[in-house]
Structure 1
Amino acid sequence: MTIPEDDPIRRLTIADPDDPALPHVAVVGDTYTILVSGKHTGGRYCLIDMLVPDDGGPAPHRHDFEEMFTILEGEIEVTFRGDKHAAKAGSTVNIPANAPHGFKNVSGAPARMLCLCTPAGQDEFFLEVGTPVASRTAPAPAMSEDEQKAFMAKAKELAPQYRTELLPPGE
């Protein structure tokens, strides 16, 4: 096997999660910072810093790409194919492509984790459905019931474009 030549168009990426120039977005009450986007990696992967408030996290969903979380702070309850699993700070969780899953912060305090998706695309989905916030630690803005319904309608409409399926609660 021959290794391809270096691509001089691709650049080194060094991401400081507290850099105000990075995209920080509120999604489902969590705050996500796109550290390394698919644009940086030629679509190979993306890396997202996730700040999840107590009791926060996404509803059940699945997608056709691999997703891996490393818990930096707190404890997350991962629901994988209907079964609940605990993952505390220092743990890494790999979600195989297509598997139904979701997670919830059960720490009693904010939890922080890194999320790696391969190939990239989840970063673009979050940017399209999320609400921009000022920083990695900015809380998600409060949403009225009508705003929550509008968000869910937009997420459901866009999810298939990003190879994602939102599932009913309990799956």
Structure 2
Amino acid sequence: MSNPAQTYPPIPDDNLSRSLTVANPDTDQSLMHLAIVGDTYTIVVSGKETDGKYTLIDMLIPPGGGPGPHRHDFEEMFSILEGEVEMTFRGQTSVAKAGETVNIPANAPHVFTNKTGSHVRLLCVCAPSGQEEFFEAVGTPVATRTTPAPKMSDAEMAAFMKKAAELAPKYRTELLKHA
């Protein structure tokens, strides 16, 4: 039962310097599409549009794809649009399928992998924003949301991993070793 005498702070005035964001990852040519370790990530809504409150990333994960084990100090939520991914959260493995949403609490170790023979598509929300800046710093621009990430040689992969490991702390992320 609520206390009728309780008062709440007023809602702030509308910030007229911010505008409506409408983005289509398949047709909006202003969006950034990035190849990251074999996956293709499209920054649909960045922290610039949300005043740093969250980021929305459209992820296309090919068979065998997905990031290595990691953790970060921000919330991360995945809605699986197509396919399924194997997710390991704090050492426990499960499968998330199309239509399901998974929330990863801040600081928790996790990894996901596409163990199927077809592409998986996820929407990823990171709150607060900032993860898109890490992806921009380490990723390779590609033409579209569905452009396959270029194949990397062993030397290119080693250079990518070195760069990612060096930059990760700046973006509140820790890359973990495979179990």
Instruction: Give the TM-score taking structure 2 as reference length.
Output: 0.94
Alpha-carbon distance in 1 for matches of 2:178, 2:130: 24
Deviations 1:57-92 (A, max 9, x none): 011000000000000000100010111110000000
Stretches (4+) displaced over 4 A:
none
2:13 alignment partner in structure 1: 5
Alpha-carbon distance in 2 for matches of 1:146, 1:36: 32
Secondary structure of the 1:160 match is helix
What's the offset of the Cα at 1:130? 0.2
Structure 1 unmatched ranges of 5 or more: none
Alpha-carbon distance in 2 for matches of 1:117, 1:13: 17
Alpha-carbon distance in 1 for matches of 2:45, 2:148: 21
What's the offset of the Cα at 1:21? 2.0
Is 1:147 matched with 2:147?
Answer: no
Secondary structure of the 1:40 match is helix
What's the offset of the Cα at 1:55? 1.1
Higher mean C-alpha deviation, range 45-54 or range 100-109: 100-109
Instruction: Give the TM-score taking structure 1 as reference length.
Output: 0.98
Alpha-carbon distance in 2 for matches of 1:17, 1:51: 11
The amino acid across from 1:126 in the alignment is F
What's the offset of the Cα at 1:106? 2.0
Match of 2:77 among 68, 73, 92: 68
1:135 alignment partner in structure 2: 144
Computing the radius of gyration from Cα coordinates, the structure with the larger value is 2
The amino acid across from 2:71 in the alignment is R
The amino acid across from 1:139 in the alignment is P
Is 1:50 matched with 2:59?
Answer: yes
Alpha-carbon distance in 1 for matches of 2:47, 2:166: 22
The amino acid across from 1:69 in the alignment is F
Alpha-carbon distance in 2 for matches of 1:51, 1:157: 25
Alpha-carbon distance in 2 for matches of 1:82, 1:60: 10
